[in-house]
């Protein structure tokens, strides 16, 4: 079973000591101080956040910044501080930093092999400090149960016109490039708040969504029922086929979700049995890198190593993968897909990779 020592349970003595070393670079004064911290009802990350805002850290922050600047990267020992900085909004502290791969990481492994995948899972454990990846647990977003799915869902809640505009442009681009026939059948994986799925349903499509998170499924179903739409949500995993029939879907869609899959080869093989010969698989809003020298993507596929991404992984436990474009295209080609790429200068979420089966 996966475990998360930063979020669960009462603070242990070892966690208090670790927080002191991670943030203040020293040991606690005595056992009484440790007991006081444990009595306050905080979890480990909350304690790290509190320490990063305390007068002692503020007095040594300049030295901390100098040390980070000198090495120009972060390592696994920096991740608690990076996670705390992310949570309290101190983003400038780690700006531009990239996680250095541990010494045991073997970059020569075949990226399509089982050993490579297992190495990525080991790296995930090192970043997240969780023992075993269980998607239903580690991809959970429990707070979604309290969100507004009807009036101001998803990006509308940000009140940020650039963020909302970027996502709306992406939805428009996805709809345009889908070439969906009238009353077509759509499957969206990792649909979250379901804004794209609901748009297709409003156009008259029959829509199925699959999400690992039961709260997202329930919220999207409420929104669909509220508007009287032909949309059904399914709590499940990538590759599930709610239709129960091979080659049923005119469109299979991933919007900011494909990069959570630790078994991409298996998934693409399943996609080849899901989509109609005339249908499309669309990936949009995915972290796909065109350059092979991107510091945060030093391999064909794997975790994005920029500090914000690995901080989120430490906090959440999510799979936050990325792909070099050349590797992703080869992966789909291996399973019989041809790719068309539709760029968009206006919104990074609106970059579309559209795949169709050939032969």
Do the strands 337-342 and 352-357 form a parallel or antiparallel pair, or are they unpaired? antiparallel
What gap in Å lies between CA 141 and CA 195, rounded to an integer? 17
Please answer whether residues 354 and 173 qualify as being in contact, where contact means their C-beta atoms are separated by less than 8 angstroms: no
Structural domains of the chain in order of their starting residue, each with its CATH number? 1-69 (no CATH), 137-306+318-357 (3.40.50.150)
Predicted confidence at residue 9, as pLDDT, reads 61
Residue 40 burial (C-beta neighbours within 10 Å; 0-12, 13-18, 19+): exposed
Predicted confidence at residue 272, as pLDDT, reads 95
Those residues of the chain that have pLDDT short of 50 are 1-3
What gap in Å lies between CA 175 and CA 195, rounded to an integer? 12
pLDDT in tens, 283-312: 999 999 997 778 999 999 999 999 999 999
Q: 3-state class of 341 per DSSP?
A: strand
Predicted confidence at residue 3, as pLDDT, reads 47
pLDDT in tens, 243-260: 999 999 999 999 999 999
Instruction: Output Rg (C-alpha) for the chain, integer angstroms.
Output: 22
Q: Which residue has the tokens 């005119």?
A: 250
Predicted confidence at residue 142, as pLDDT, reads 85
Predicted confidence at residue 8, as pLDDT, reads 58
Looking at the chain, how many residues does it have?
359
For 177-233, give the DSSP string: HH-PPTT-EEEEES-TT-HHHHHHHHTT-EEEEEES-HHHHHHHHHHHHHHT-SEEE
Predicted confidence at residue 244, as pLDDT, reads 97
Predicted confidence at residue 165, as pLDDT, reads 98
DSSP-assigned letter for residue 306: B
What gap in Å lies between CA 358 and CA 39, rounded to an integer? 63
Predicted confidence at residue 291, as pLDDT, reads 74
Does the pTM of the predicted model rise above 0.95?
no
What gap in Å lies between CA 91 and CA 65, rounded to an integer? 12
How many CB atoms are closer than 10 A to CB 256?
17
Please answer whether residues 140 and 217 qualify as being in contact, where contact means their C-beta atoms are separated by less than 8 angstroms: no
What gap in Å lies between CA 336 and CA 331, rounded to an integer? 9
Predicted confidence at residue 2, as pLDDT, reads 46
Q: Which residue has the tokens 């759509």?
A: 186
Please answer whether residues 87 and 315 qualify as being in contact, where contact means their C-beta atoms are separated by less than 8 angstroms: yes
């Amino acid at each position: 079973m996966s475990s998360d020592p930063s979020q669960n349970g009462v603070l242990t003595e070892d966690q208090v000591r670790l927080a002191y070393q991670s943030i203040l670079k020293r040991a606690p004064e005595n056992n009484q101080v440790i007991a006081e911290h444990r009595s306050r009802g905080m979890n480990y990350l909350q304690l790290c956040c509190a320490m990063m805002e305390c007068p002692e850290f503020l007095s040594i922050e300049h030295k901390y910044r100098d040390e980070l600047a000198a090495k120009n990267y972060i390592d696994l020992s920096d991740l608690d501080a990076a996670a705390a900085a992310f949570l309290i909004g101190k983003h400038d502290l780690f700006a531009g930093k990239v996680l250095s791969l541990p010494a045991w990481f073997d970059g020569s492994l075949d990226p399509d092999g089982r050993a490579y995948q297992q190495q990525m899972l080991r790296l995930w454990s090192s970043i997240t400090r969780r023992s075993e990846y269980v998607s239903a647990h580690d991809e959970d977003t429990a707070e979604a149960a309290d969100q507004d799915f009807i009036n101001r869902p998803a990006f509308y809640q940000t009140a940020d016109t650039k963020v909302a505009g970027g996502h709306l442009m992406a939805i428009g681009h996805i709809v345009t490039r889908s070439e969906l026939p009238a009353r077509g059948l759509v499957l969206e994986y990792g649909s979250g708040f379901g804004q794209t799925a609901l748009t297709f349903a409003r156009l008259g499509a029959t829509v199925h969504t699959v999400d690992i998170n039961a709260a997202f499924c329930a919220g999207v179903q409420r929104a669909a029922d509220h508007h009287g739409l032909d949309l059904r949500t399914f709590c499940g995993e990538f590759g599930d086929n709610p239709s129960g029939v091979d080659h049923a879907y005119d469109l299979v869609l991933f919007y900011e979700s494909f990069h959570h899959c630790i078994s991409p080869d298996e998934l693409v093989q399943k996609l080849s049995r899901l989509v109609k010969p005339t249908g499309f698989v669309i990936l949009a809003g995915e972290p796909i890198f065109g350059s092979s020298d991107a510091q945060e993507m030093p391999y064909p596929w794997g975790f994005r190593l920029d500090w914000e991404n690995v901080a989120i992984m430490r906090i959440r436990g999510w799979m936050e993968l990325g792909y070099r474009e050349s590797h992703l295209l080869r992966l789909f080609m291996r399973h019989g897909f041809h790719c068309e790429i539709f760029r968009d200068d206006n919104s990074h979420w609106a970059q579309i990779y559209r795949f169709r089966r050939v032969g």
